[in-house]
Amino acid sequence: MPITVGQDTSKTRKTLEVNGKTIAYYSIPAAEAAGLGEFANLPAALKVVLENMLRFEDGKTVSVEDIKAFSDWGKMGGKNPREIAYRPARVLMQDFTGVPAVVDLAAMRDGIKALGGDPQKINPLNPVDLVIDHSVMIDEFGNPRAFQMNVDREYERNIERYEFLKWGQSAFNNFRVVPPGTGICHQVNLEYLAQTVWTDVDQSGAEVAYPDTLVGTDSHTTMVNGAAVLGWGVGGIEAEAAMLGQPISMLIPEVVGFKLTGEMVEGTTGTDLVLKVVEMLRAKGVVNKFVEFYGDGLDKLPLAQRATIANMAPEYGATCGFFPIDAETLRYLEQTGRDKDRIALVEAYAKENGFWRGSGYDPIYTDTLELDMGTIVPAISGPKRPQDYIALDAAAPAFAKFVEGQRNGKATDRAEARWEAEGGAPEPSDIPGDVGHHAKGWYKTDDGAYQLHDGSIVIASITSCTNTSNPYVMIGAGLVARKARELGLNRKPWVKTSLAPGSQVVSEYLEAAGLQEDLDAVGFNLVGYGCTTCIGNSGPLDGPISKAINDYDLIATSVLSGNRNFEGRISPDVRANYLASPPLVVAYALVGDMNVNIAEDVIGQDKDGNDVYLKDIWPSNAEIAELVEKTVTRKAFQEKYADVFKGDEKWQGVEVKGGETYSWPPTSTYVQNPPYFQGMSKDPGVITNIEGARVLAVLGDMITTDHISPAGSFKESTPAGQYLVEHQVPVREFNSYGSRRGNHEVMMRGTFANIRIKNEMLDGVEGGYTKGPDGAQTSIYEAAMAYQDQGTPLVIFGGELYGAGSSRDWAAKGTALLGVKAVIAESFERIHRSNLVGMGVIPFEFTGGDTRKTLGLTGEETVSIEGLDTVTPLAEVPCTITFKDGTSKTIQLKCRIDTAIEKEYVEHGGVLHYVLRDLAAS
């Protein structure tokens, strides 16, 4: 389908000759020459957005004044928060967030039909790629059968979802599906889909070159910024609107420059670097901002390591972390098998249009900070947040301090008592480190009895595109395994080990280097190609281990090479989770204990009984580089991506059901027709004041979207579990919340149901509980339904950075379906605020120093918010809080409806309602 550009004048549209071929493009230097402003010193990341304005300028959606605003941005020191309409080139999705997006599109086809419109109008206008990567779970591990058994189980669990996605692929235009077992969406995007400079034919029939841009339904869409492709995560709601031709309303962002100097030193990895970057940028404060990396340090930073830094933009809070086009970009495109003509176009376009990072690259930034990469040391991050950076030699003492805080200075004696009741335990072994506040427990296996204690590592997982996209750390992990194997070291028997690469290319070069055999020998067998542990699909622990952890209330730990370690995310049995490089994941599996200072202490004994230290199994940078050069080849990428959309025999055998509209199977517990568009009128409503609302929850700081809408497993006793049992689904088939996102009935019941969330309305209670209308403790879902029956609106109170983490739209959808009309917090993370607006829920921020704590909120209050019927973007409105004793206080709230179009979305009941009415009317 041809792209539609806004105008075709001689002012900014020029042509470029590349390898004998002429191609049109929109020229930033020509815009300067035409008197539209001064743009030469803008950051490359912002020039990408500027080019988008030039290409779509039509005097309506995008005006000349929008273009001139970028010049003003530079003159005003990197600030000019003007509202603009931005159109990304394409959309990337994964199955956890993609299934509900396709469900919405299917429901919109039903909805537009009911409004008298044409269902074919509900079709992606921009290319959409959906990669199935979030569904594989680690049921089997540590043996050669693990991969095939996990794949077989994945299809058993998810066949309804896969049939639905295959229907979507056949029913919608511009929609492709990458089948299960291929890789992780961001790594597939980086290694194959992304082009850095995109091309398409416009309405005049001419081929046009422009920067490759995208939005994705996963927050780590930012990874591709490492290859100079501007992209970030949005909720599925916003992505669906973008697919259907709706521009993304945004403010011209501030751009923080992060200067990298020096180079990495011996013994450090790209993971160590990114964990320090995350810590620094979280401290700096970059929410809603672009971060662009520059400086001569980039000359020594391979693109795979840049991609790791870009991947973790959600962890440091930025919209994106962008790396400009340079010689390393071209080298990576060549290595990964991109077309030679495309690589030539990237170079020519970047140099001609001002996107190239040369030796003198030093643009205007809103603010800057700097890091000498020579100061980086080995590190991990945890136990609850990615920004909680810990130098490796301080990790064991930091864990001991964490345990002391969890135990309040008191050890537990439950382990000893239980074994006494069962007839006695083996002699306990010593626990390394400071054991003053550690609980101990035992578990039995066929091989004997083992002691677990606070700090026992029960999961060690090489997982996530964040690091498996980087051959340097993957080869490094393989070499650690090889050296450990040669010395006779192995994983501890209580550690669940796994290797889940982000693409099949990783397996290709690990096999070519002979390292997969070494990884297998220490338990890191291939378990699948997908997100696995990083998304919470770590699978169940062995029964005796899980029982010991829960019987004795142990603080078990995990170490993973992922990007997230939020509470309750990795495993319901694990309280402390640490992010680390793949080589360190292997090392920690050999030790099996967070109390060991692996930077300095003995980590084991070799075959002859000699002490082994980390330095004895750690490879040199030269060893790693030699193997990377030898085994990571252009041919490997070309072969593995040759049939990326074909899939295996299992995928080819999945049946397609339904035609233009979807025939919703009434018995399905995975895919249900959502209620959003049922009975919808042709005309929008108005924003009304909130009167007499009750409080559903009072929540603290850094409430993540994992807290609001967990992705992992759930128990029979939960509202979601009870729903499935009522629908004859056995507990073994529950799967996960993430896999059930096509069923609003499950997801409503799972909203605010994280096992670690704490509602301050209750005293120290963990889990998704609140007080119902009668004041008694109940589940949040049951309370919300009781309030809905009474016709009572609801509000949520929160602290700082409300909605941090994943882009999951269900955190907003679930909130809306529970009857919440407003979320009042100290600050919001970017994507979740946008998602709330997209679902018609209004975000508000406290002003004047007010917080839930200064107001003494208990959740017994009623809340009324006035001025919404005449509200304007970012206006302050009065909120009256009436306390339990009858007294009241009026405070001012800042309405975080940020733009005029967002106000229209709320008036319509949400962005999809807005789009649906618009398409039906046209």
The per-residue pLDDT for 2 is 54
Pairing of strands 862-865, 690-698: antiparallel
Distance, in Å, from the CA atom of 104 to the CA atom of 428, rounded to the nearest integer, reads 56
Question: Which of 246-250, 478-482, 888-892 shows the lowest per-residue confidence on average (mean pLDDT)?
Answer: 246-250
What's the longest Cα–Cα distance across the chain? 89
pLDDT at residue 424 tops 70:
no
What's the Cα-to-Cα distance from 843 to each of 212, 646, 797, 866, rounded to whole Å?
A: 32, 43, 10, 14
Distance, in Å, from the CA atom of 570 to the CA atom of 558, rounded to the nearest integer, reads 8
Q: Are 102 and 166 in contact (CB under 8 A)?
A: no
503 assigned to some structural domain: yes
The per-residue pLDDT for 712 is 85
Q: Are 872 and 904 in contact (CB under 8 A)?
A: no
Q: Say whether both 365 and 321 belong to one domain.
A: yes
Q: Say whether both 98 and 73 belong to one domain.
A: no
Pairing of strands 457-462, 448-453: unpaired
Distance, in Å, from the CA atom of 462 to the CA atom of 472, rounded to the nearest integer, reads 14
Q: Sign of the C-alpha dihedral, residues 662, 159, 806, 803?
A: positive
The share of the chain scoring above pLDDT 70, in percent, equals 95
pLDDT at residue 11 tops 50:
yes
Edge-first strand order for the sheet with 457-462 is: 389-391, 379-381, 576-579, 557-560, 457-462, 496-499
Kindly report the backbone phi and psi dihedral angles of residue 205, in degrees, each rounded to the nearest multiple of 5, phi listed first: 90, 0
755 assigned to some structural domain: no
pLDDT at residue 758 tops 60:
yes
The domain total for the chain is 5
Distance, in Å, from the CA atom of 481 to the CA atom of 330, rounded to the nearest integer, reads 32
The 10 Å Cβ neighbour count of residue 408 is 7
Q: Point out the domain boundary residue: 23, 53, 86.
A: 86
Question: Which of 391-395, 765-769, 910-914 shows the lowest per-residue confidence on average (mean pLDDT)?
Answer: 910-914
Distance, in Å, from the CA atom of 430 to the CA atom of 362, rounded to the nearest integer, reads 56
Q: What is the DSSP annotation of 53-74?
A: HHHH--SSSS-HHHHHHHHHHH
Q: Say whether both 735 and 595 belong to one domain.
A: no
Q: Say whether both 473 and 349 belong to one domain.
A: no
Q: Encode pLDDT of 266-322 as tens digits.
A: 999 999 999 999 999 999 999 999 999 999 999 999 999 999 999 999 999 999 999
The per-residue pLDDT for 423 is 41
Residue indicated by tokens 């999951």? 808
Is the previous residue joined to 773 through a cis bond, with omega within 30 degrees of 0? no
Q: Encode pLDDT of 176-217 as tens digits.
A: 999 999 999 999 999 999 999 999 998 888 999 999 999 999
The per-residue pLDDT for 9 is 53
156 assigned to some structural domain: yes
Q: Encode pLDDT of 518-557 as tens digits.
A: 999 999 999 999 999 998 889 999 999 999 999 889 999 9
The 10 Å Cβ neighbour count of residue 409 is 8
176 assigned to some structural domain: yes
The per-residue pLDDT for 207 is 95
448 three-class SS? strand
Residue indicated by tokens 């941005």? 73
Total residues belonging to the chain: 922
Residue indicated by tokens 């789009």? 915
pLDDT at residue 219 tops 80:
yes
Q: Taking the chain, what is the end-to-end CA distance rounded to the nearest angstrom?
A: 19
Q: Point out the domain boundary residue: 86, 113, 139.
A: 86
Strand ranges, E, within 466-560: 496-499, 557-560
Q: Are 460 and 586 in contact (CB under 8 A)?
A: yes
Q: How confident is the model at residue 430 (pLDDT cuts 50, 70, 90)?
A: very low
Q: Say whether both 247 and 207 belong to one domain.
A: yes
Distance, in Å, from the CA atom of 805 to the CA atom of 794, rounded to the nearest integer, reads 24
61 assigned to some structural domain: yes
What's the Cα-to-Cα distance from 53 to each of 56, 69, 322, 825, rounded to whole Å?
A: 5, 10, 19, 33
pLDDT at residue 896 tops 90:
yes
The per-residue pLDDT for 921 is 86
Could you tell me which residues come within 8 angstroms of residue 819 by beta carbon, excluding any fewer than 6 positions away? 784, 787, 788, 792, 793, 794
pLDDT at residue 504 tops 80:
yes
The predicted model gives 332-339 an average pLDDT of: 98
Q: How confident is the model at residue 771 (pLDDT cuts 50, 70, 90)?
A: very high
Q: Are 17 and 35 in contact (CB under 8 A)?
A: no
- Mean pLDDT (the chain, rounded): 92
* Two structure tokens written together for 85: 């309409």
Q: Say whether both 822 and 844 belong to one domain.
A: yes
Question: Which of 49-58, 536-545, 620-629, 836-845 shows the lowest per-residue confidence on average (mean pLDDT)?
Answer: 536-545
Name residue 231's beta-bridge partners: 214
Q: How confident is the model at residue 612 (pLDDT cuts 50, 70, 90)?
A: very high
CATH code where residue 218 lies: 3.30.499.10
Q: Point out the domain boundary residue: 86, 106, 141.
A: 86
Kindly report the backbone phi and psi dihedral angles of residue 248, in degrees, each rounded to the nearest multiple of 5, phi listed first: -85, 120
679 assigned to some structural domain: no
Q: Say whether both 344 and 394 belong to one domain.
A: no
Distance, in Å, from the CA atom of 173 to the CA atom of 107, rounded to the nearest integer, reads 16
- Cα-Cα-Cα-Cα torsion 244, 247, 250, 252, nearest 10 degrees, comes to 140
Q: Encode pLDDT of 431-456 as tens digits.
A: 443 344 456 666 666 666 788 999 99
pTM for the whole structure: 0.87
Q: Say whether both 220 and 312 belong to one domain.
A: yes
Q: Say whether both 363 and 425 belong to one domain.
A: no
Question: Which of 326-330, 355-359, 515-519, 675-679 shows the lowest per-residue confidence on average (mean pLDDT)?
Answer: 675-679
The share of the chain scoring above pLDDT 90, in percent, equals 81
Residue indicated by tokens 């209620």? 675
Domain that holds residue 35: 13-86
756 assigned to some structural domain: no
Using alpha carbons, select from 836, 899, 907 the residue that is nearest to residue 872.
Answer: 899
Q: Which residues of 786-803 are buried (b: 16+ CB within 10 A; e: fewer)?
A: ebeeeebbbbbbbbebbb
The per-residue pLDDT for 889 is 97
Distance, in Å, from the CA atom of 435 to the CA atom of 430, rounded to the nearest integer, reads 9
441 assigned to some structural domain: yes
The per-residue pLDDT for 379 is 98
Q: Encode pLDDT of 564-574 as tens digits.
A: 898 888 999 99
* Two structure tokens written together for 273: 């670097």
Pairing of strands 769-771, 690-698: unpaired
Q: Say whether both 79 and 220 belong to one domain.
A: no
Phi-psi region of 88 (alpha: psi -120 to 50; beta: other; left: phi over 0): beta
Q: How confident is the model at residue 68 (pLDDT cuts 50, 70, 90)?
A: very high
Q: Say whether both 809 and 745 belong to one domain.
A: no
CATH code where residue 876 lies: 3.20.19.10
Q: Say whether both 552 and 475 belong to one domain.
A: yes
Cα angle, residue 198 at apex, residues 631 and 221 outer, rounded to 5°: 65
pLDDT at residue 403 tops 70:
yes
Q: What is the DSSP letter of 78?
A: S
Strand ranges, E, within 212-348: 213-216, 230-233, 248-251, 255-261, 290-294, 320-322
